[in-house]
Chain A
Amino acid sequence: MRFVLRRLGFYLVAFWVSVTLNFLLPRVMPGDPISRMMSQSQGRMTPEQVVQMQALFGLDNRPILQQYIGYWHSLFTGEMGVSISRFPTPVSEVIASQIGWTILLGSTALLIAVVIGNLLGILAAWRRGGVLDSALPPILVFIGSFPYFWLAMGALDVFGVVLGWFPLRHAFSAGATPSLSPEFIGDVAMHLVLPAMTIVVVSVGGWMLAMRNTMITTTSEDYIVMAEAKGLKANRIMFRYAARNATLPAVTNFGMAIGFVVGGALLTEVVFAYPGVGFQLLSAVTALDYPLMQGIFLTITGAVLVANFIVDMVYVRLDPRVRAS
């Protein structure tokens, strides 16, 4: 299919551009990681050690084109190098140890927000002028207008500290050993509630509004009138005719969003001390840890591109008009 090939070609080019940007960005930044470590130690690191460490970390001094080629080579061999800020732990190990939690938190929050948001949107559109339609969107948008970290800290304070309903940090109780037992899964779920719910609360308004508006336009189409005239039940029309067509833009947005889940939720991880790639990236950036930064960027770019490609393919199946164009 020509469409598939075109999209594939586009993604390959996008991948190349992102990888090159990944490569250039850290090398453009001022300073070097060891001086950064020195400033953080505030006098505990001796000046003599700094010189030695530069050799230890094997900072690259080859010409930049050689480094670039070496970078591509390491991409294909999957070798992402050794992290500087977590020396000598390999980058792949650092990322792998947290990517699971990132995906868990991000996809849980995203799925809940998408499902609830779209359902609410469909219902709101179906019952125009009802409570759902007039009261809920403004409320949700208002809640979503607060800066996320502000809401998150407030939620943590109210539900965690004051009411004590939920744990205050981390992905599971400190000292527990991960297993597939119901207790552990329950523990993880309890720790997931506050972080995931704050993300859901902030983003559900957007999904709901989008779905509602799309639904409203869709329900005014002639074929809906025809279906009603034919006597089909309201439920059936709403879900099997109107909603199906209205979900198309939502699918595209969902695709984009699921790719970004891999990038972590930085502010959530900071406020709730939830292990994740987002804060990892921030600290890698501030520590000038080039290998780790590049590794994380690569993971995010790869995931986003793959997710988008899959969504594009799914979209082709869902919307025949795309195939025709």
Chain B
Amino acid sequence: MAHRRFNTKARVLAALAVAGGLALAGCSGATTGSGDLDGTQLLTIPREDKATFSANFNPFSPNSMPMTQQAIYEPMFVFNPTDGTTTPWLATDWASSEDGMGVTFTLRDSVQWSDGDPMTAEDVVFSFELQKELLGGFEYLENVTADGAKVVFTYNTAFSPGLFEIGQQIIIPKHIWADIADPANETNSEPVGTGPYTEVTNFQTQSYSLLRNPHYWQPDKQKIEGILMLAFAGNDPANLATTNGETDWADQFIPNVQNAFVAKDSEHRGYWFPSVDAMINLQLNTTKAPFDDVAVRKAISMAIDREEVTSVAMQGYTHPADCTGLSDAYGTWRSADVVASCDWTTLDVKGANALLDDAGYPQGADGTRTLPDGSPFAFDISVGSASSDWLSVANIISQNLAEIGVTATVNSPDWSAVVAGYEDGSFDSGIVWSNNAPTPYQYYRGVMSTATVLPVGEQAFQNYHRFGLPAADDLLAQFAASGDDAEQVTVMNELQAVYAENAPLVPLFPGPRWGVYNTTRFTGFPSEDNPYAPLSTRSTTAVLVLTTLEPVVSK
């Protein structure tokens, strides 16, 4: 009766719903992944730090879209930190002047912008002018002038590391940017560059493609059709896409990469994490006692089990640091002598205890130490909550320090609060990055030069631990002024010795530069056996990879 009719109605509705669902399932046919590969497939790269994309290809903006500075715009040369080589790019040659007060670049001829106009030395001059005006830097640069196909850079002080900064500056077209009224606020959604993939196509908030530059100066190296960037809100979804084989090249942090990623298709998949990023340190605020005591800094360093830190917290992706504090990007600069005589970066709990006892930090009956004035030897380690791997590092360090009677408490608010504490010098200690540049000059300058020391309360953007040595200043000045390679090596060795003796901070491990690849659809990726570039999609070296890759064509 009434019920039965109602029941029938419900059943019919349900059936319709199911049928509708099935119909919709049939409707969409789009599938990702491999199928027939005809060579026009796009190189798919995920980005986990930009949940959605906005059409901003302004190379001067810190938030420009991925590949702006890698595939759209190019520099004069490309420096590869994994093997220390420099590849001429928009410039074919360069020569530093004898007195170290300048450098002259010879530009490659017949390079065109993606709109067909030729690239000239005027563009280079304009690029540096605009860069200086918008973002500053290059304080040593006095003048940039065009001289036919050459560009002459003159300095106001001798600064040999300037070569790399100048060489890796991206070049922009003057005929476009000179007409822009407000270059800082320009979104540049249809960019014109010299790079291999400049044509922005099908821009959506969740993805966009970059297709071939029709006027590229190396057309034989544009073997892949283009790049497809995918947006993700965090590591997890990006990792899911990568482990599922839907991306070709990725460089976000993947935990347990061997089992989670490589093992699923070990024939095609691989990873390589060369430790060429900035050295990661435990920075101790030397304006606070007892961190001004070098014995304390070395003792703390000796108590840390760097093996555990790198194998558990960093999942074996990197290795412990040594007494030079240099990351693997500086392999050619590393002083063998300093490394051989190194004694404070290997685990030595007994030694640490002995050092602290001798230096006057007595251990009480309960095992905890006190400072000479009687207060407990306890401090905070600050690290931003968003970096879970560094958080684990801090936790392990805290466990290690308990063994020598030092109480270290991990304090992990959001990064902005942590960095605020670093900058004004109110922090105790923290897990901090350091400067990273083609030569170790900026690293040591940021670690122990008095020029970078700012008083507590004044906002600093490097040398948070506020440590400076006049001896280091002299050596750094010598290095900057010298144009002679052999002299630079000698000076750098001395700098490393000064560093090893004074332990301005506690180096932990060199930062790994992440990168995984999948050769199902593209081949030619760099690897440990073929280190022509690191596997990062975000560094200048990415263009080396883009111009080497070849698509797989399956029958």
Contact = CB atoms under 8 A, between A and B. Distances in A.
B340 interface: no
Contact of A97 (B32, B52, B58): B52
Given A38-B461, A49-B135, A174 B206 contact: yes
B136 A49 contact: yes
Given A43-B435, A275-B52, A186 B27 contact: yes
A272 B237 contact: yes
A170 B416 contact: no
B416 A288 contact: yes
Interface in B204-245: 204-207, 209, 228, 230-234, 236-238, 240-241, 244
Interface residues of A, number: 73
A185 B241 CA distance: 23
B536 to A, nearest CB: 10
Contacts of B230: 169-170, 174
Given A43-B277, A189-B27, A273 B237 contact: yes
Nearest to A40: B415
Interface residues of B, number: 74
B92 interface: no
Contact of A183 (B28, B54, B56): B28
B139 interface: yes
A190 B24 contact: yes
Given A51-B461, A190-B28, A177 B202 contact: yes
Contact of B207 (A38, A44, A175): A175
A53 B187 CA distance: 16
**DSSP class of B's interface residues: helix, strand, loop or mixed?**
loop
B52 A49 contact: no
Given A273-B237, A283-B51, A286-B414, A174 B207 contact: yes
B24 A183 contact: no
B54 A86 contact: yes
A32 interface: yes
B181 interface: no
A271 interface: yes
The 8 closest A-B pairs by CB, nearest first: A186-B27, A31-B416, A47-B461, A43-B278, A52-B136, A173-B30, A43-B433, A273-B237
11 contacts: A30-B420, A43-B435, A47-B461, A82-B185, A97-B205, A161-B240, A165-B25, A190-B28, A233-B2, A270-B233, A273-B232
Given A98-B52, A186-B27, A270-B234, 4 more contacts: A37-B62, A42-B278, A43-B436, A273-B238
Interface of A: 29-33, 35-40, 42-53, 56, 82-83, 85-89, 93-94, 97-98, 101, 153, 156, 161, 165, 167-178, 182-183, 185-187, 189-190, 233-235, 269-273, 275, 279-280, 283, 286, 288
Interface of B: 2-3, 5-6, 24-25, 27-30, 32, 42, 44, 49, 51-52, 54-56, 58, 61-63, 134-137, 139, 184-187, 202, 204-207, 209, 228, 230-234, 236-238, 240-241, 244, 246, 277-278, 384, 386, 414-420, 423, 433-436, 442, 446, 452, 460-462, 511
